[in-house]
Structures are given as structure tokens and as C-alpha cells.
Amino acid sequence: MNNQKLKSIADNIRALAAAMPEKAKSGHPGGAMGGADFMAILYTEFLKFDPTDLEWFLRDRFFLDPGHMSPMLYATLSLFGAYSMEELANFRQWESPTPGHPELEPHRGVENTSGPLGQGHAMGAGAAIAERFLAARIGEEIGHKTYAYISDGGVQEEISQGVGRIAGNLGLSEYILFFDSNDIQLSTMTDEVTVEDTKKKYEAWGWRVEVANGSDFDELRAALKAANEESERPTLIIGKTIMAKGAITAEGESFERTISSHGQPLSIGCSQKQSPLSVSKRN
């Protein structure tokens, strides 16, 4: 697929990810908007699945660790009919199939219930172990990839350290983890919480590590291709993304890279008049 079409897909995911929290008056639009480019290329060029049968047993699996980024997942799945526009409009409402944190619904493409950060990609590692177990006993014809998605906050959790060590030690080469590194988390810039070198840490655990511009389709494509060709190690793709990518204020100024866009509708954050410069100066 050419990059212009991918951009259109990503922009649709981004717009829906912004609209859902806006209508609900609660939610997390910023990270979802930044991750839209990765989701667009993953689901169109790399993830093996059947849109007409999302429980097809030979499908690749996708595990979302930061469940608060559910608008990104629901928006992506809606583009091939797994969710209707009405269901997206009922985001975070009572008895809605689009809760703030996704709940297990494989028939809709949701492979895991997510809550505490770090838990989702641990489930992904377990699924990757199960996949290798079955492939070793039945044959590689049932083999498939397991993809997971983690955020700045999630990669800091202690459960993530255990996942990193065991996946590297076992050489889970079918396990591919995307780290959405936008340098912003719940209420601070990431560098106010940690200054560790994530790349070196995962390499020390035996992972292959690719670094890419998370908004550049060519770089994401190359990183995913390298990850799919790896035969001995799990792969971490560090994607440098932009929180609230594409967001602007009513005055037309950029509202990207703002802390407030992480956990509340864009209109609320904009009304607080937090300048994006207050964040960029701290980077």
C-alpha cells in the first residue's frame, strides 16, 4: 500500500480517536492519535488476519498493553466493520461494547482485557510462548506472529522487566513489541520519572531493537520487516511518536506534545490554555 493511502487510514484512526473521548467527555485521545500511523501500517501490511472471521485460529495476535489507548484500537477495528460508528459514539457509556479499557472480545479483534500497565504485553508474551509450544509439536504451518503495543508508563512497570527477561532468554523470535515512545505519561514528561536507556536494557536481555520515527511509514515498514525476518530473538521497535499528533487549538496553534492531551478530551485541555511550548521547552 502506498504511503498516501496509509496516511488517509491513519488520519481516520486519529480523527475517531479524538472524537470518542470528546463525545464521552472523558478518555485518553493523545496517545491514541500518536499511535495511529503504526496501527495503519501494521493492520494493512503486516498483521495476518481475516476481517470476515476475526477468530481464525491461524491469525497473528495483537495485544494492547495501555488499555487507556482503546480509542486507537476501536477506531482501527471499525475500519473493517468490527465496530459500528454508533458503538464508537457510545464510548465509555454504560453497557457499551466500547469501554474505556478494552475487554476480551476475539470476535471483534480484541485479544486481551487490559487494565494495569504492563499486564497486556505480559499476556502477549504468554501467547507467544504458547504459539512456539504448539508449533514445536504440530508443525510450523500453524505458526504465527504475536504483536504487542506498550507505552512509556507500561515499559517502566516491574512486570515489564520480567517479560523482557523471559522473552529474551527464550528467544521468542515470533514476538514483536512496539514501544510507543512519545516522552509523555500520566501527568509528567517521561524524563522526570526515568532516564534509563531502554534500547540498551532490552539488548542486554537478548532482544533485537529497532528504532524508528513512529510517524514515518518507510521507517516503520523497515523496522517491521526486520522484526519479521528475525529468527532468534524477540524484537522491540522503539517508535518515537507525537502525543496528540495533528491536534490544534481553536486559534490554529499546535496542541501536540502536551501533557494534558494524554488523559482528557482535547477541548478540555485546550480550554486550560496549556501552551505546547511549555512542554517542548522541557524536552
Whether pLDDT at 280 is above 50 = no
Can you give the pTM of this predicted structure? 0.94
Which regions of 174-255 does DSSP assign to beta strands (E)? 175-181, 208-213, 235-240
**Tally of CB atoms within 10 A around 24:** 18
Output the CA–CA distances (angstroms, integers) from residue 30 to 11, 26, 94, 263, in the order listed.
13, 12, 23, 7
pLDDT digits (tens, 9 = 90+) for 149-191: 999 999 999 999 999 999 999 999 999 999 999 999 888 899 9
pLDDT of amino acid 276: 39
pLDDT digits (tens, 9 = 90+) for 64-111: 999 999 999 999 999 999 999 999 999 999 999 999 999 999 999 999
* Structural domain boundaries enclosing 85: 3-280
Domain tally for the chain? 1
Whether pLDDT at 282 is above 50 = no
Whether pLDDT at 257 is above 50 = yes
Q: CA 277, 68, 159: angle at the middle one, nearest 5?
A: 105
Q: What is the CATH number of the domain that holds 34?
A: 3.40.50.970
Average pLDDT, the chain: 93
Whether pLDDT at 281 is above 90 = no
Q: CA 15, 20, 24: angle at the middle one, nearest 5?
A: 150
> Residue 68 and residue 78: Cα distance in Å, rounded?
17
